[in-house]
Amino acid sequence: MRADLELIYDWVPQGAHVLDLACGDGALLERLAQEKNVTGYGLEIDPDGITQCVFRGVNVIEHNLDDGLGSFSDNSYDQVIMTQALQALRRPDKMLDEMLRVAEEGIITFPNFAYWRHRIHLGLRGYMPVSKSLPHAWYDTPNIHLSTFNDFEHLCREKGLVIVDRAVGVGDHKGHWTSKWWPNLFGEIAIFRVRRR
């Protein structure tokens, strides 16, 4: 699994009931079900991802996250997870509200636009960066709300949310000590665990 999914795996308790938003190929839910007796559903819009989920035996529902989570009851899950999708939503702030309506705790990952390589690329070359965490050109990217560690922490403070934990991903591995001390500069992938007050 990707490095951010490995970190998330550790944050999901044994036997939890989980809703995985933009679950992709279902790799995380499959492993959680096999090794931690986790139950739940994945939501995915990409037909290839849905096919992979079905192949893996993961419960999946075709769903566009921009439509919200209105078909899910309050507090119906232990955790809601959303990896690498926050930046592609029309209203990421509203989705955060929805996640914490459906579950007490949410786990969110997104590419950190303030990562030092992105800053240098933009500053020296004058072009929007293209990297492993931001793999698309500016004109064909699904990312419409790029943000940083600082931006997300500010949003959580505005909403009165508690940041239970945060972690940093750099490429395909966990962050170096520098990224733990200065995540906004040295963290390529932001990983947050938040809950309501």
Q: Which neighbouring-strand residues pair with 169?
A: 174, 189
CATH number for the domain that contains residue 92 = 3.40.50.150
Q: Is residue 163 assigned to a domain?
A: yes
Q: Is residue 122 assigned to a domain?
A: no
Structure tokens at 122: 């933009």
Q: Is residue 159 assigned to a domain?
A: yes
Q: Is residue 84 assigned to a domain?
A: yes
Per-residue pLDDT at 137: 64
Q: Which H or E run contains 95?
A: helix 92-102
Structure tokens at 161: 């949310």
Q: Is residue 123 assigned to a domain?
A: no
pLDDT band of residue 3 (cuts 50, 70, 90) is: confident
Per-residue pLDDT at 128: 64
Q: Which domain holds residue 32?
A: 3-112+145-195
Q: How far is CA 52 from CA 36, 38, 59, 71, 78, in A?
A: 21, 19, 11, 24, 24
**pLDDT, tens only, 16-33:** 999 999 999 999 999 999
The total number of structural domains that make up the chain: 1
Distance from the Cα of residue 124 to its chain's centroid = 29
Give the separation between CA 2 and CA 137, rounded to whole angstroms: 22
Give the separation between CA 44 and CA 42, rounded to whole angstroms: 6
Full-model pTM: 0.85
Residue 14 scores a pLDDT above 70: yes
Give the separation between CA 16 and CA 29, rounded to whole angstroms: 11
* CB count in 10 Å sphere of residue 94: 13
Q: Is residue 134 assigned to a domain?
A: no
Per-residue pLDDT at 180: 61
pLDDT band of residue 7 (cuts 50, 70, 90) is: confident
Q: Is residue 127 assigned to a domain?
A: no
Nearest one of 47, 29, 26 to 38, comparing CA atoms: 29
Q: Is residue 125 assigned to a domain?
A: no
